[in-house]
């Protein structure tokens, strides 16, 4: 790689953790700290608890967010979300999902993060937040795919829709910051590592990824 793409980090950061910092963690934690600027005590909904969603949950815990709702269709990932700081879990295929969110967080959340990239879940975001809330699009949809929002709801509720590309991060700055948060014990990134597998097991690891199984697999 070019020298400009190499970011020095502390020697005390294990390679598996550094691999996660290089993508999912920078995106997820950055969505919380850089894009949304979540404050201590804020409420949040996280739609999609894969690698990026799990990092969003850790980022919310780092900031000291209050009520945190995790949404997914995988029971395994919802269980993991509880271990990563979610205070409530909800099934993503529940037709009454929006109502449940408003029941748990009266008036809607301060922040709603979509970490999948599906038009249907992106369109739902503004309905999950309350007055002055932020809908943060973290998952990357296909280019050119439109979604629909109710502009009256946005204007009347003073709601915002924020786009988040790579956690609004600057690698040379944010990689080092995340590494230091890990070494200080404030960001337990080890909890995101499910298994380390040899390169010749890459196909099995990709199958797990396609089936939304487990935590991150690190190829060594």
Predicted confidence (pLDDT) at residue 133 exceeds the cutoff of 70: yes
Using 50, 70 and 90 to split pLDDT, how confident is the model at 24?
very high
pLDDT tens-place string over residues 146-168:
999 999 999 999 999 999 999 99
Structure confidence at residue 210 (pLDDT): 82
User: Higher confidence at residue 214 or residue 114?
Assistant: 114
Structure confidence at residue 214 (pLDDT): 65
Contacts of 7 (CB under 8 A, 6+ apart): 171, 172, 175, 176
pLDDT tens-place string over residues 65-105:
999 999 999 888 999 999 999 999 999 999 999 999 999 99
Helix axes 51-63, 75-83, angle to 10 degrees: 20
Q: In angstroms, rounded to a whole number, what is the distance separating the alpha carbons of residues 140 and 2?
A: 26
Predicted confidence (pLDDT) at residue 124 exceeds the cutoff of 70: yes
Structure confidence at residue 216 (pLDDT): 80
Contacts of 64 (CB under 8 A, 6+ apart): 40, 41
pLDDT tens-place string over residues 28-51:
999 999 999 999 999 999 999 989
Structure confidence at residue 204 (pLDDT): 87
User: Higher confidence at residue 10 or residue 164?
Assistant: 164
In order of start, what are the domains of the chain with their CATH numbers?
Answer: 13-168 (3.40.50.720)
Q: DSSP class of residue 142? A: P
Q: What SS3 state is found at 34?
A: helix
Predicted confidence (pLDDT) at residue 8 exceeds the cutoff of 70: yes
Distances (CA, A) of 185 to 3, 62, 179: 29, 10, 10
Q: If you average pLDDT over residues 114-125, what whole number do you get?
A: 95
pLDDT tens-place string over residues 170-202:
999 999 999 999 999 999 999 998 888 899 989
Contact 135, 161 (CB under 8 A): yes
User: Higher confidence at residue 212 or residue 219?
Assistant: 219
């Amino acid at each position: 790689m070019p020298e400009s793409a190499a970011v020095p980090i502390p020697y005390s950061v294990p390679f598996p953790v550094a691999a996660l910092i290089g993508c999912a963690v920078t995106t997820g934690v950055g969505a919380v700290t850089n894009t949304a600027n979540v404050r201590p005590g804020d409420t949040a909904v996280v739609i999609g608890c894969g690698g990026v969603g799990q990092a969003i949950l850790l980022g919310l815990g780092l900031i000291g967010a209050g009520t945190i709702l995790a949404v997914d269709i995988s029971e395994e990932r919802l269980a993991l979300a509880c271990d990563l700081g979610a205070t409530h879990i909800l099934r993503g295929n529940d037709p009454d999902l929006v109502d449940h969110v408003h029941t748990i967080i009266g008036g809607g959340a301060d922040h709603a993060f979509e970490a999948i990239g599906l038009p249907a879940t992106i369109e739902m975001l503004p309905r999950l937040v309350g007055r002055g809330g932020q809908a943060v699009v973290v998952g990357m949809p296909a280019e050119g795919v439109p979604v629909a929002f109710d502009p009256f709801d946005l204007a009347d509720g003073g709601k915002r829709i924020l786009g988040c590309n790579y956690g609004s991060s600057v690698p040379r700055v944010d990689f080092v910051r995340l590494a230091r948060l890990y070494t200080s014990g404030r960001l337990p990134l080890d909890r995101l590592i499910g298994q380390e597998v040899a390169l010749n097991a890459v196909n099995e690891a990709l199958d797990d990824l396609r089936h939304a199984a487990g935590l991150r697999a690190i190829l060594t």
